[in-house]
């Protein structure tokens, strides 16, 4: 094995108003570290809105520290977060920027603000971030492909087993239980692609070509998943052009299962590096030793937006998949709402920003700080448009985001497809076209209200302006955190 460049020093658990899940999650990751002789620091970022839950979480953290005294554990609750906000303001960061980046929990909570806080607390370190509804019961890919690294371009490298129920998914994963989750991430995280290229043996022609031409470093990795797939809408399968996707669409029973059940066992068969920006942070590692982008504090898919900004600001930053998974035992039901095609019927903030910055190109190769500032300038200019022009740009982004799906639907229907597929393609198209006819089509779901469309658009424009300022100042914020916030929290 070739040693990677990053050793994970901190595990950050993201939680909010779920004490029971926090207890289970924290204990599982502690047990895994103790079993493997790992000496890492734990940080719990608590975004609870209810004071009673914050108190319960604090007790849980204190108890966990007593049970595993060799694993330092820091609780970052309302008081600590307020102190960090004050410290940033004292260092010259404008209050409006701090509020946008780290909003007060009493007003709103988002996974993104908690993940940004974790980046500040761990500035200069490699970290693993885990959501509180995950359980660290590691398993390896059922059809493992060995230790050799694969490089995959413009494709989803993961293999998926569809399951009827949560219990079935967990049972399936348990058949290949085992593995060192942290070591699996460290195998790729921080590694240069030139080092990893030495481990490409017997690979496909496309993998050998990518291995020979890509240059850079793996800056983030994510785990396999068993249980809730963490996919908000299952109908992406309609546009999945992989071999596995075609098999599912061509098999009625598999297609029905893919569009009705959240439950999967999904992982890569071997360590994998991809040039895609996809990232899900339910259990992911980030090389935070040098600057990476912040997360958006609004809505979900903040991890998808983070991955996109990481790849845009640092084209030599790659994302990896590890052939080791965790259990995602969420509180969501196993069955999707079959009456809703949410990806066609709504726009999320993360989706909008990814579309807006899709054609933006970095200013300086290898200079993430310069590029993040420039990306902030780009979004700032959009936020300074008058309301009519801004609404036009976001509406156009919504249409452009949907255009590839509509074109794919036309091609599939023209070429002929099974009746059950055709019915859902037509339903998807009708839903998308109806959505795009709305006057607020360019307003993400997070900014919708019972107020007027104009006021919703204004709120969106104001937030994009604040987020642009966060990106502009992020190099200073991240540097300040490394000098004064991270050491202070580590010593607390």
- Asked if the model's pLDDT at residue 96 lies above 70, the reply is yes
CA distances from 123 to 183, 289, 294, 332, 482 (A): 21, 6, 12, 33, 5
Kindly report the pTM of this predicted structure.
Answer: 0.93
Cα–Cα distance, 423 to 275 (Å, whole number):
34
Summarize the confidence of residues 51-56 as an average pLDDT: 95
Angle of helix 243-250 versus helix 252-260 axis, rounded to 10: 100
By the 8 A CB rule, do 125 and 291 touch? no
24 assigned to some structural domain: yes
234 assigned to some structural domain: yes
Summarize the confidence of residues 380-405 as an average pLDDT: 96
Phi and psi at residue 38, to the nearest 5°: -85, 135
401 assigned to some structural domain: no
Cα–Cα distance, 412 to 262 (Å, whole number):
25
Determine the structural domain holding residue 293 and report its residue range.
Answer: 8-364+463-491
Cα–Cα distance, 232 to 304 (Å, whole number):
12
pLDDT for the residue numbered 136:
97
CA distances from 489 to 83, 99, 129, 178, 370 (A): 11, 20, 17, 33, 28
331 assigned to some structural domain: yes
- Number of structural domains (the chain) is 1
- Asked if the model's pLDDT at residue 328 lies above 90, the reply is yes
Sort strands 8-15 and 217-228 into parallel, antiparallel or unpaired: unpaired
- Asked if the model's pLDDT at residue 491 lies above 70, the reply is no
What digits encode the pLDDT tens for the residues 430-442?
Answer: 999 999 999 999 9
Cα–Cα distance, 309 to 215 (Å, whole number):
18
Q: With bands split at pLDDT 50, 70 and 90, how would you rate the model's confidence at 208?
A: low
440 assigned to some structural domain: no
386 assigned to some structural domain: no
Q: With bands split at pLDDT 50, 70 and 90, how would you rate the model's confidence at 1?
A: very low
- Asked if the model's pLDDT at residue 418 lies above 80, the reply is yes
423 assigned to some structural domain: no
Q: Using alpha carbons only, give the angle 290, 292, 297 rounded to the nearest 5 degrees.
A: 145
pLDDT for the residue numbered 307:
96
458 assigned to some structural domain: no
pLDDT for the residue numbered 73:
95
């Amino acid at each position: 094995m070739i040693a990677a460049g990053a050793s994970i020093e901190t595990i950050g658990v993201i939680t909010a108003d779920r004490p029971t899940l926090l207890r289970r999650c924290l204990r599982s990751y502690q047990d895994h570290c103790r079993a493997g002789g790992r000496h890492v620091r734990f940080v719990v970022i608590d975004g609870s809105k209810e004071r009673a839950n914050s108190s319960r979480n604090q007790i849980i953290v204190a108890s966990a520290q007593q049970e595993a005294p060799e694993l330092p554990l820091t609780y970052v609750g309302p008081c600590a977060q307020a102190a960090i906000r004050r410290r940033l303001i004292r260092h010259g960061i404008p209050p409006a920027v701090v509020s946008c980046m780290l909003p007060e929990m009493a007003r709103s909570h988002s996974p993104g603000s908690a993940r940004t806080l974790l980046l500040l607390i761990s500035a200069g370190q490699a970290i693993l971030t885990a959501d509180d509804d995950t359980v660290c019961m590691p398993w390896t890919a059922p059809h493992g492909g060995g230790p050799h690294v694969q490089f995959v371009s413009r494709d989803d490298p993961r293999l998926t087993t569809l399951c009827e129920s949560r219990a079935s998914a967990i049972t399936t994963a348990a058949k290949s239980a085992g593995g060192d989750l942290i070591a699996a991430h460290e195998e790729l995280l921080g590694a240069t692609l030139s080092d990893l290229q030495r481990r490409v043996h017997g690979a496909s022609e496309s993998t050998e070509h990518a291995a020979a031409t890509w240059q850079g470093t793996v800056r983030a990795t994510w785990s396999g998943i068993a249980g809730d797939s963490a996919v908000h809408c299952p109908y992406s399968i309609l546009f999945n052009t992989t071999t596995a996707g075609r098999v599912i669409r061509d098999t009625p029973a598999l297609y029905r299962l893919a569009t009705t059940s959240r439950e999967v066992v999904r992982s890569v068969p071997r360590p994998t590096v991809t040039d895609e920006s996809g990232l899900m942070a339910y259990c992911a590692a980030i090389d935070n030793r040098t600057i990476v982008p912040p997360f958006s504090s609004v809505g979900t898919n903040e991890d998808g937006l983070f991955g996109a900004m990481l790849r845009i600001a640092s084209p030599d930053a790659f994302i990896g998949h590890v052939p080791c998974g965790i259990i995602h035992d969420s509180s969501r039901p196993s069955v999707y709402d079959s009456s809703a095609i949410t990806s066609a019927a709504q726009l999320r903030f993360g989706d909008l920003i990814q579309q807006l910055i899709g054609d933006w190109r970095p200013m300086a190769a290898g200079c993430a700080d310069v590029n993040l500032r420039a990306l902030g300038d780009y979004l700032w200019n959009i936020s300074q448009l008058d309301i009519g022009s801004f609404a036009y740009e976001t509406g156009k982004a919504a249409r452009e985001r949907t255009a590839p799906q509509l074109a794919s639907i036309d091609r599939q229907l023209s070429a002929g497809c099974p009746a059950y597929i055709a019915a859902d393609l037509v339903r998807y198209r009708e839903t998308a076209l109806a959505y795009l006819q709305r006057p607020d089509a360019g307003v993400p779901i997070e900014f919708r209200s019972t107020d007027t469309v104009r006021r919703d658009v204004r709120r969106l424009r104001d937030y994009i302006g604040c987020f642009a300022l966060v990106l502009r100042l992020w190099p200073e914020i991240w540097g300040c955190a490394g000098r004064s916030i991270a050491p202070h929290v580590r010593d607390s």
